[in-house]
A and B are shown apart, each in its own frame.
Chain A
Amino acid sequence: MRTGLGRVCVGVLMAALVLSGCATAATQPVAPEASPVVEASVPAPEEPLEICVTFDKMGAYREGNKYYLDQAAAELGVTIDFYVADEDAQKQSAQVDTCIAKGVDGIIVNPWDIQAVLQDIDRAHEAGIIIGTMGQYPARDDTTDFLYTANCYADGSMLGEWLVENAGDDPIKLVNLQGSLSHDCGVLRDKGLKEAIAGHSNIEIVMDCPTEWRPEPALACMENALQAFPDMNAVYAATDGLLPPVFSALEAAGRLKPVGDPDHVIVMSIDGDPQGCAAVRDRFMDAGIAAGENPNSGRQAIEAIIKINATGERLPDNERIIQNEGYLYTPDNLDDVQDLVWGCVIGSQQ
């Protein structure tokens, strides 16, 4: 029994340490190829900088975010310490503390919680460390050293305008798959869409469905909508992650037809991730918005840290806060704009 206990204890430790060794090898950064989206606007620092990055979670969108962040870091000679908070405000706070303890040159937070990040910003500033946010507005934007996000309102609005223009006078019965209504970007995308179609009486939203960005509620909503409104002829998805349930429900109802087919259901979505790009390329989606945040925000954040580190001065507000508008892509213009669609760029390299 004594030997057995020792074996098990040693087993726990060995498993952890062996996997730790794997972990080190698995995380060597691989610099992606250059993207044509943005050019470096600051020279690389003379002394290599170490920057901490903590993301709220991982998924297709954040993977795209990280791809361009790594690319910018490689080009600018910056070392990135990368963390993921796994949708946990406490964990993110601890990660910021770790970064502060390491004495890094700057911290980029993609905040899971917009209130909790304010304390993280305060603690970093007390330690004299540059800290800024990307991805989501903190509850107050006056203390952050920089703030680079998507322009969620403009992204939703662009799709609404596209629908108005392309629907003409045809009657449109739209199913609205919203994102999370407790998330700024979810609210703003929804608001942008609705304000763009307001006043056009031929376009009617027959069903609003909050999905929390998750596919299961989206699938349920689509099934219900197809049942309740057999004449529905358009779907708006707040994120490309909702496209699989949209297509699944349309296919089950025998209504998945390519663009141009007389029975085609209009499909629109925001993000521009690899599946959004593929859906437009395969002509099952009519219009998408490739979020401008992904190719731009990471680079903007690193450049901001380099600038502030070099000058010791706060950035002017027009440089400190930038909302990156997305890019409209459709089956007709995809060949021309695919370099702006981050999902097409990443997808082509996989």
Chain B
Amino acid sequence: MGVRDWLAAVDVSGRRAGSSSVYQAVEKETVSRPGLAGLTTRAGLGRGWGIVREVPMLPVVLIGAGLLALSVDGFATAANGQIIMRQLAVLVIAATGETLVLLIAGIDLSVGSVIGLGSVLGTSVILATGSPTLGLLVCVGTGALIGAFNGLTISRLGVPPMILTLGTMLTARATAFLVTGGRSIGGLPADVLEFGRADWLGVPTVFVISAGAALLVAFILNRTVFGQSIYLVGSNERAAAFSGIPVRRVKFLVYFIGGILSGLASFVFLLRIGAAMPTAGDPLLLLVIGSVVVGGTSLMGGEGGVFRTVTGAALIMMIVNGLSLIGASYYVQDVVSGVVIVVGSALGVWLVRARTGE
């Protein structure tokens, strides 16, 4: 059965002809996770509470932003808003891909290295050809290739994701070092640098790209059969398989899309920084996983979403930015970020338990 046939056979709620008793459990899982689409049918306070349940960090982000605006000079300015958005651009794209992977109870440790390798190869191609479009294709292609390898190996051979992606992380990073001799690459054409610095109606272009990618993935997750099947595979892989969902294919596609998003993030990185380096993604891995988990996506799979991840990333960046503006020391900033990640992760676990009644 091809993907099209399969998509045609399964409707948005995951219902499939000839449902079994096992399928009933899967259906129950689906119904209990309404997604943002489900929220549109609710009204008044119920809708508001539903949004909080689906994006639990949203009120924290909003209240935090308000308090920081009142208490920190220079926080609530347009310039600072742009700084935060630029900081979020690469992180949100990469974390969106990681969200998909965590939703199927997987993990992708190679995301940072793919960003490093993609940015190095993309920049090399732009320098050689003068074409940013080719650079974009190489960045995305690099991510897609590594994502496909990860996906195939994990879904077909059953290699544990942590081990496999640790291997691809090391390989991609070392390849980037080999390509560049360990040095960073710069000298991008002026139009590429200008595009990376430009704004669109006051919103940095790099953030526009990032927001577009996140919205597209959120749409796929919340509005398509494929998106629902990701949740089902993450919730109960065996039950999903019994209900006819091609688990291996879903896993492959998740890692593949995650790789594409990492590749896109590498392109946005080179736009934003105006240079590429093998170590580009080194600091990003923990931030990416931190953003996803703080937002409320479960490490155990089946629970979470892109909007949660965006709020997780926004919370971390806002706090780091606020602490910088008030002159907090580097060490204290790390302590605060660590506390936020710990408490945010606790919230994520608590939410899963509350929902499943454990």
Contact = CB atoms under 8 A, between A and B. Distances in A.
Nearest to B326: A24
A24 B324 contact: no
Contacts of B60: 9, 12-13
Contacts of B67: 13, 17
Given A27-B328, A90-B272, A97-B83, A20 B279 contact: no
A12 B343 contact: yes
B148 to A, nearest CB: 27
Contacts of A15: 336, 339-340, 343
Given A19-B335, A114-B184, A118-B275, A94 B56 contact: no
Contacts of B282: 87-88
A66 to B, nearest CB: 10
Contacts of B324: 83, 95, 98
A73 B318 CA distance: 29
A22 B326 CA distance: 11
Interface residues of B, number: 67
A16 B339 contact: yes
A91 B283 contact: yes
Interface in B314-358: 315, 319, 321-336, 339-340, 343-344, 346-347, 350-351, 354
Contacts of B330: 58, 82-84, 86
A115 B275 contact: yes
B275 A22 contact: no
Contact of A19 (B273, B315, B332, B346): B332
A26 B63 CA distance: 25
A101 B177 contact: no
Nearest to B87: A94
A20 B323 CA distance: 6
B193 interface: yes
B40 interface: no
A1 B340 contact: no
A95 B315 CA distance: 17
Contacts of A1: 354
B80 A98 contact: yes
B272 A4 contact: no
Given A90-B269, A90-B272, 9 more contacts: A13-B60, A13-B63, A16-B339, A23-B328, A24-B326, A86-B283, A93-B86, A93-B273, A114-B184
Interface of B: 49, 52-53, 56-57, 59-60, 63-64, 67, 74, 77, 79-80, 82-83, 86-87, 90, 177, 181-187, 193, 197, 269, 272-277, 279-280, 282-283, 315, 319, 321-336, 339-340, 343-344, 346-347, 350-351, 354
